[in-house]
Copies of this chain bind each other. A is one copy, B any other.
Amino acid sequence: MMKSNPASDHVYLNDGFKCSTISIHTNLSEQNGGSNNSVGTQGSKEFILTEDGKKVKPSRSTVECTKSWLQECSRRTFNRKTLHKKLPILGWLPRYSSQDAVGDLVAGITVGLTVIPQALAYAGIAGLPVAYGLYASFLGCFVYIFLGSCKDVPMGPSAIVALLTFQVAQGSWQKSVLLCLLSGIVELLMGLFGLGFLIDFVSGPVSSGFTSAVSLIILTSQIQSVLGITAKGNTFVEIWTQVFHNIEHTRAGDTVLGLTCIVVLLLMRSLSSCRIGPDDEEQCSSLQRVVNKVLWIVGTARNAILVVVCCLMGYLLHSEEHGAPFRVVGDIPPGLPSVQWPPTSLSANETSHGAAENFVEMVHSMGSGLIVIPLISLMENIAICKAFANGKSVDASQELIAIGTANIFNSFVQGFPGTGALSRGAVNNASGVRTPLSNIYSGGLVMIALLFLTPYFYFIPRPTLAAIIIAAVVFMIEVKVVKPMWRSKKSDLVPGVGTFVACLVLPLEWGILIGVGLNVIFILYHAARPKLSTELLTTQSGMDYMMITPDRCLIFPSVDYVRNLVNKQSMRQNVPVVIDASHVYGADFTTATVIDSLISDFNQRGQLLFFYNLKPSICAIFEQVSAAQFVVYYQEQQLDDLLKERNYTQKRSETA
């Protein structure tokens, strides 16, 4: 407490305290050998930190928050800005132009041509009949138009979420559909409660490690389809063991077709970036322009083209006696799915273990999947938004609401969980999408496919679908990210590689939790072990003092460490100690009690301790606890006065 010393009271209450502005005078260099002495620099030397300026988000106490929360809620609900935020369609539809319409049409059809083969393939990843892929690909698109905030997101099945669905539902369509409903509800609730920020805690390395591991697992799961064998298993190791076990059953037709398809797809992929003629579009002849456009379309619609070609091939090579030389998709029920409640119980012959399951048992068997699928769905969705945001902010909570509602609707037409798939997001953007309305065309195409094309899908070869998946996910294995990570921040490899390995050997949800956990440990370590720099300096009147500068906030995990270090450094030199708190932006009650002990330590030794440049907000915290007198100053010159007040005279003999 400052009461005992009016002079230090004055020091404490200098101009920096009353207004919310701290002026920091920084003239220490004279003590540093004088080499940087730049007398006569222009202008004043002050450095203004607005602490609670208008544009700074004020940190409010919990109580204030609780008090104003209800008021804000009522005020916000029917606010125009909020309505626009919660129904983004209100923002873009009134300004919808013909240019937008053309862009959306082209992008929507391109994405539609991509989503149909992908939907058929991803249903395989989820362990479901191919028709379920199409069921999951249309209704959600229409919902996203109203609620989605990001133009590039193509709502529908994604490879990663399909794999998670398989791990949770084990290929039961009833469980997959119920999972779609429940994860949709969880997403919606998380969105309404504003939990979108949770995604911030998945760092780049963890995200890369997870995506790479999932891609590798998906690739592994498709090897069996390319080879025409059966290999069941949940983890990477299990599946490869099965593959090698069954390698002698390899079917020549499947293998040849599958490998050929992969090679063709990779070649076609490179077409989309091929160009002829001069680089500048305007200098091209019209022939060159047409060729370039065709190349791009062939490259982008490669999946659809390959499926049509292979489907024809399947039809032609099919003979009544021997069937096709490779496995085909087979019968797909024609027409749109019926609208019905998602299944809430399983009869005995619908489960793998032969016992009926009621709703509670089904939910129980899904376990942590109900949290992990929403989070991963959001992660993939937000990755699209961020990639093409061009500096605009991304509203993760609104995206949760959008994909949650889309999944809820999808579950009524027997869809399995979906989200914005990264690969189609890139196609959407490259095709010049302008608004979420493009979803209407891709959703429409899927409906047309369901209504009229299912009979022709019979002959689609399974190895072709597997090839489509492999050619897509092989580029999601982020090997290229390792090198810059190694060169910029090696410690970030720990969560990255940790997540990758954990996802390969453990269930996926454990893998990502381990990665996030490793990252949180890094943050806690950061908070617990600040760096302290110590300098021996001299005041203007020639008195030695020690300046100790912590580089971050002082909160409970670090304060004892700081107390120990400060005491240790201070006991070596019997000079006054100044703690420079310029970088200390936060403190808590534990800090206050430990600072109190620190002051007592110094008083017992008869050593002087001052605080320099301590924010008034932190001062206020310390004052309430510290029974001992603590002295803060904000201007370098004041140190000399403070030392004089305390009758401090340097004893050179003691410091030697």
Contacts and interface: CB of A to CB of B under 8 A. Distances in A.
B391 A489 contact: no
B61 A47 contact: no
A553 B535 contact: no
Contacts of A532: 56-57
Contacts of A200: 528, 556-558, 560-561
B50 A44 contact: no
A527 B526 contact: yes
Contact of A524 (B23, B523, B558): B523
Given A204-B589, A583-B585, A535 B44 contact: no
A526 B540 contact: no
Contacts of A51: 533
Contacts of A556: 200-201, 203-204, 519
- Can you tell how many copies of this chain the complex includes? 2
A566 to B, nearest CB: 9
A391 B46 contact: no
A489 B623 CA distance: 11
Interface string A530-553: 011111000010000000010111
Given A524-B523, A549-B49, A492 B589 contact: yes
Interface stretch (A217-225, A275-283, A597-605): A597-605
A603 B629 CA distance: 52
Interface stretch (A31-39, A95-103, A114-122, A300-308): A31-39
A10 interface: no
A393 interface: yes
Q: Which of A55, A205, A568 has the most CB of B within 10 A?
A: A55
Contacts of A386: 560, 597
A648 to B, nearest CB: 20
B567 A391 contact: yes
24 contacts: A23-B36, A38-B44, A38-B45, A48-B535, A51-B533, A53-B535, A62-B491, A62-B494, A63-B490, A200-B528, A200-B558, A201-B556, A203-B588, A204-B556, A391-B604, A392-B567, A484-B624, A485-B589, A492-B590, A519-B556, A523-B555, A523-B557, A527-B527, A552-B585
* Smallest CB-CB A-B distances: 10 pairs: A391-B601, A29-B46, A488-B624, A203-B556, A204-B590, A30-B43, A393-B564, A26-B47, A29-B44, A45-B45
